[in-house]
Copies of this chain bind each other. A is one copy, B any other.
Amino acid sequence: MARTVGSNGPKTMEAIRKAGLRLIYTQGYEAMSLRRLAAEVGIQAGSLYNHITTKQDLLFDLIKVHMDELLERLDQALDGIADPEDRLQAFIAFHVGYHIARKREVFICYSELRSLESKNYDIVVGLRQQYERKLIGILDDGVASGRFTVADTTVAAYGILAMLTGVCTWFKPAGRLSKEEVTGIYTGMVRHGLVRTVDAPAVAEAT
């Protein structure tokens, strides 16, 4: 009835984050009880407070860390690419790949926003806007340089993001399509339309 053999702070914290992510993904933040979380980690509920400050802080931390990483990796993916067309292609590939790999993190970032206290909420929404603006920037650049034709830059950006993010809801690693095939299909749909009529064919689809 005290500190247990082999107990280790950082290791426990990581277990809390991992179990918390899974439980919030499957049950939702409000529905996840700290007793259940503690049980998954293998400790008592009160012991959680040696590692977290509040339940809310755990949620915010999970989301914040993910958003920071998302932004950082996007910068890496776009680094050194200048041409708007190539940047758009790189954005699509990055977004699809990342959302397939981190579907749980992505999901709670959207679905648990309303469980964040207003201060935390504002921070996360700000980060998400930063991400959105990267794509809007790519489209604007392409339009400004005369390379792109876009009906409405903002609507197109939100449309692309919604369409690509949807991959989380149906993609299965062992499914019919590979990650690369999916990326290719999405890229084609962004560039040439999702449904084309035969009597009005698009131009050659070089890949």
Taking a contact as CB atoms under 8 Å apart, the answer to whether A160 and B194 are in contact is yes
Q: Tell me, in angstroms, the Cα distance from A196 to B154 when the chains sit together.
A: 15
Q: Please tell me if A121 contacts chain B, counting CB pairs below 8 Å.
A: no
Residues of B within 8 A of A88 (CB): 195
Residues of B within 8 A of A177 (CB): 152, 155
Whether A198 is near chain B, meaning CB under 8 Å from some CB there, is: yes
A197 touches B191 (CB 8 A): yes
Q: Which of A85, A160, A163, A165 gathers most chain B CB within 10 Å?
A: A163
Q: Does A151 contact B (CB under 8 A)?
A: yes
In the complex, the count of this chain's copies comes to 2
A108-142 vs B, Cβ < 8 Å mask (1 yes, 0 no): 00010011000000000000000000000001001
Q: CB within 8 A of A193: which of B158, B161, B170, B189?
A: B189
Interface of A is mostly: helix
A80: interface (CB < 8 Å): no
Q: A201 on the interface (CB 8 Å rule)?
A: yes
With an 8 A cutoff between CB atoms, is A18 at the interface? no
Nearest CB in chain B: distance from A135 CB, A: 10
Interface residue total, chain A, C-beta cutoff 8 A: 53
Within 8 A of B (CB), among A182-198: 182, 185-186, 188-198
Is B196 in contact with A159, judged by CB distance below 8 angstroms? no
**Partner of A147 from B160, B186, B198 at Cβ < 8 Å:** B198
Residue of B85, B111, B155, B165 near A111 (CB, 8 A) is B111
Listed from nearest, the 8 A-B pairs whose CB atoms lie closest are: A162-B166, A30-B30, A200-B203, A163-B163, A193-B193, A149-B196, A159-B163, A156-B194
- Besides A147-B198, A160-B163, 9 other A-B contacts (C-beta < 8 A): A26-B114, A28-B115, A30-B30, A30-B31, A149-B201, A155-B185, A162-B163, A193-B193, A200-B203
